[in-house]
Chains A and B, each alone.
Chain A
Amino acid sequence: MGQAHFSHALKVDPHICFGCSRCMVSCPTEAIRIKKGKAVIYEDRCVDCGECYRSCPVHAIYIKQDDFEKIHMFSHKIALVPHVFFGQFPSQFTQNDIKNAILGAGFTDVVEVEQSVPFLIEQINKYVKKHAEDKPIISSFCPAIVRLIQVKFPSLTSNILLLKPPLDITAYNTRKRLVDQGIDNSDIGLFYITPCAAKIAAIKSPVGEEESQIDGVINMDTLFNRTFTYLSNNKNKMEINREYSKLNFRSRRWPLTEGESKYIKGNNFAIDGIHNVIDFLEKIEDDEVPGVDYLELRACIESCVGGVLLTTNKFLIAERIKNNNDEPEVIKVQNFIHDKEYLESHIAVNKVEPRNIMSLDDNIEKAMQKLTTISDLMKILPQTDCSACGAPNCNALANDIANNESTIEQCIFIQKNMEAENKLKPEESYEILSDIWGKNKFSKYKNLKK
């Protein structure tokens, strides 16, 4: 495997992980192996989609966030909150209550990330019109999808929309507004409340951008707990009572599936769920779907309401957001956009470079040799995809062997055969398995009666 040069938010806590392999099997990019009884994430293959986080039965996979106390390093502590946050609360709390409770939790202001959506939709429509030859244009909104395309669909990197997502635009907008009010830039702390791991990774090592405007990232469940506690303690009377403007309909819909595709002109598709996206991109790559203008692709089912850090059922949140009709449609984009020209000059991102993880070698002749090895191995391996070898399936093991990262004895079928033919001693076979699954896995069988 190549070297790691990407920051990831998903981490494995080795003290909790007991080596069950669920994460390894669920990973859409085969980025996980089991070594010495623990899950190990290959950083160059991981796209931060969070499927492993979802599948872990003991919460050994966690999302590394900034310390909440970091907000107090700034006099202006701004929470950049995605709209999905509000859908988690029971309907008795108004959005204004929830925003005031976020202030109660320690922030000095709350800014909804989707404020910039009407501006962005306008920019995307211009972009799609201008780049007619690069169709389909693929949305850059979901960072897990951008990374997925880089590693698995390298030929489609040139189709990615080269405009910043709402978060970055809102961050630029907010900072510029405060600086123009005379506030020192170093006093402004912008904290993003993230619904998923991919967004953190995108902030810590942005694709196509020099550096992020965001000073810190707080996991959505952390802020939910603090906000909900504040609301419960101030049930009868809210101490803080600021009036906040509300987002318009399009902005509220943005984080849901079809939140983009419906508002971009042309023949568009909206696809959610990383496995569905992979299936569809295979077709796009083969040019099997002609005449598509714009693709909204999101890694989570039901888009951002399905983010791993949300605390409530995704369908309930989606329904609450759709049914939230108590808010007037009168708010115009100009209310939020402080300096349109400034934003227009900062909205572009650099070209997204491919980084093909499927490549066996940079040298085609060496790659062909490895491919021959893999195809020979696949004739021997049992094709049961049992993952007892510590790789997610037989093909992944064959790849690892061709890359000198594994040995054929790791396959238990081959081990048994070698033992039967006296090519491998039982204690050697035991050593190999405990090297994959850890010694602890075998200790409980010590006194097992036949």
Chain B
Amino acid sequence: MRFEYDIEAGNFSKAGDASSAFKKVLKQLNVDPQVIKRIVIALYEGEVNIVAHSYGGKIVCDIEPKKVSIVLKDTGPGIPNIEQAMQEGFSTATPAVREMGFGAGMGLCNMNRNANAMNITSSAEDGTRVELIINL
């Protein structure tokens, strides 16, 4: 089963809408509450990343009986150094974004921590694609 959500760049008032909508689906599917927690935390971090750092993007969630796969794809500008971006506390967020309570540099590592598998590809031309797998 597939669910798709368009994410607008820079619209912080809507950051979290996709994760909330998908959370409702997971509850309807009676997914273990602790697994829902992990999925939603990872998804929310990814959603905020698209809002805060990208030119906009899309989240596609596929549910199968044994796992959830989530692809977060944006249109740029890409992450120059993925290894550095994965480090806890590393952030390129502007002071304005930080003032809104985002941009603490926990996003990618939090996603990694809550997923069973994570795969990032990024380039200046194609933007960033993060794939998350969470087992049910």
How far apart are the CA atoms of A360 and B63 in the complex, in Å? 15
Known: A364-B29, A365-B65. Contact between A155 and B1, CB under 8 A? no
How far apart are the CA atoms of A153 and B132 in the complex, in Å? 24
The answer, yes or no, to whether A372 is at the interface (CB within 8 Å) is yes
Interface bits B120-135 vs A (CB < 8 Å: 1, else 0)? 0000000000000000
The answer, yes or no, to whether B136 is at the interface (CB within 8 Å) is yes
Expressed in whole angstroms, the minimum distance between the Cβ of B2 and any Cβ of chain A is 11
CB of A358 within 8 A of CB of B33, answer no
The answer, yes or no, to whether B16 is at the interface (CB within 8 Å) is yes
Interface bits A8-37 vs B (CB < 8 Å: 1, else 0)? 000000000000000000000000000000
Expressed in whole angstroms, the minimum distance between the Cβ of B61 and any Cβ of chain A is 13
Which of A286, A364, A365 is within 8 Å of B31, CB to CB?
A364
User: Can you pick out 25 interface pairs between chain A and chain B where the beta carbons lie within 8 Å of each other?
Assistant: A154-B27, A155-B34, A155-B37, A282-B23, A285-B37, A285-B40, A286-B16, A286-B19, A286-B20, A286-B40, A286-B44, A287-B44, A288-B16, A288-B44, A290-B104, A356-B30, A361-B30, A364-B29, A367-B28, A367-B30, A368-B29, A370-B28, A371-B1, A371-B25, A374-B28
The answer, yes or no, to whether B50 is at the interface (CB within 8 Å) is no
How far apart are the CA atoms of A156 and B33 in the complex, in Å? 8
CB contacts (< 8 Å) of B27 on chain A: these are 154, 356, 358-359
Given contacts A286-B23, A286-B41, 15 further A-B contacts (CB under 8 A): A155-B33, A155-B37, A158-B34, A285-B23, A286-B19, A286-B40, A286-B44, A287-B37, A290-B104, A354-B33, A359-B27, A360-B29, A360-B30, A364-B31, A374-B28
How far apart are the CA atoms of A372 and B2 in the complex, in Å? 10
The answer, yes or no, to whether A362 is at the interface (CB within 8 Å) is yes
The answer, yes or no, to whether A157 is at the interface (CB within 8 Å) is yes
Question: How many chain-A residues does the 8 Å CB contact rule pick out?
Answer: 27
CB contacts (< 8 Å) of A356 on chain B: these are 27, 30, 33
CB of A364 within 8 A of CB of B33, answer no
The answer, yes or no, to whether B7 is at the interface (CB within 8 Å) is no
Interface bits A336-372 vs B (CB < 8 Å: 1, else 0)? 0000000000000000001010111110110110111
CB contacts (< 8 Å) of A365 on chain B: these are 65
CB of B65 within 8 A of CB of A364, answer yes
> Residue of A at shortest CB range from B15?
A288
> Residue of B at shortest CB range from A402?
B28
Known: A282-B20, A287-B40, A368-B63. Contact between A157 and B33, CB under 8 A? yes
The answer, yes or no, to whether B36 is at the interface (CB within 8 Å) is yes
Interface bits A367-390 vs B (CB < 8 Å: 1, else 0)? 110111010000000000000000
Nearest first, the 6 closest Cβ-Cβ pairs linking A and B are A155-B33, A359-B30, A154-B33, A358-B27, A155-B37, A367-B29
> Residue of A at shortest CB range from B29?
A367
Expressed in whole angstroms, the minimum distance between the Cβ of B42 and any Cβ of chain A is 10
> Residue of B at shortest CB range from A282?
B20
CB contacts (< 8 Å) of B63 on chain A: these are 368
CB contacts (< 8 Å) of A360 on chain B: these are 28-30
CB contacts (< 8 Å) of A282 on chain B: these are 20, 23
- Chain B interface: which size bin? 20 to 34
Q: Which of B27-74 contact A (CB under 8 A)?
A: 27-31, 33-34, 36-37, 40-41, 44, 63, 65
CB of A155 within 8 A of CB of B36, answer yes
Report which B residues bind A (CB closer than 8 A): 1, 16, 19-20, 23-25, 27-31, 33-34, 36-37, 40-41, 44, 63, 65, 104, 136
How far apart are the CA atoms of A368 and B136 in the complex, in Å? 14
How far apart are the CA atoms of A373 and B1 in the complex, in Å? 12
CB contacts (< 8 Å) of A158 on chain B: these are 34
CB contacts (< 8 Å) of B40 on chain A: these are 285-287
> Residue of A at shortest CB range from B37?
A155
Q: Which of A268-294 contact B (CB under 8 A)?
A: 282-283, 285-288, 290
CB contacts (< 8 Å) of A286 on chain B: these are 16, 19-20, 23, 40-41, 44
CB of B29 within 8 A of CB of A371, answer yes
> Residue of A at shortest CB range from B35?
A155
CB of A362 within 8 A of CB of B34, answer no
CB contacts (< 8 Å) of A156 on chain B: these are 33
How far apart are the CA atoms of A368 and B31 in the complex, in Å? 11
CB contacts (< 8 Å) of B25 on chain A: these are 371
CB contacts (< 8 Å) of A354 on chain B: these are 33
How far apart are the CA atoms of A370 and B30 in the complex, in Å? 12
CB of B30 within 8 A of CB of A362, answer yes
Which of B33, B41, B65 is within 8 Å of A287, CB to CB?
B41
How far apart are the CA atoms of A286 and B16 in the complex, in Å? 8
CB contacts (< 8 Å) of B65 on chain A: these are 364-365, 368
Expressed in whole angstroms, the minimum distance between the Cβ of B8 and any Cβ of chain A is 18
How far apart are the CA atoms of A125 and B20 in the complex, in Å? 32
CB contacts (< 8 Å) of A370 on chain B: these are 28
Expressed in whole angstroms, the minimum distance between the Cβ of B88 and any Cβ of chain A is 14
How far apart are the CA atoms of A365 and B30 in the complex, in Å? 10
CB contacts (< 8 Å) of B19 on chain A: these are 286
How far apart are the CA atoms of A354 and B20 in the complex, in Å? 19
How far apart are the CA atoms of A371 and B31 in the complex, in Å? 13
Expressed in whole angstroms, the minimum distance between the Cβ of A2 and any Cβ of chain B is 11
CB contacts (< 8 Å) of B34 on chain A: these are 155, 158
CB contacts (< 8 Å) of A362 on chain B: these are 30
How far apart are the CA atoms of A286 and B46 in the complex, in Å? 12
CB contacts (< 8 Å) of B16 on chain A: these are 283, 286, 288
CB of A372 within 8 A of CB of B29, answer no
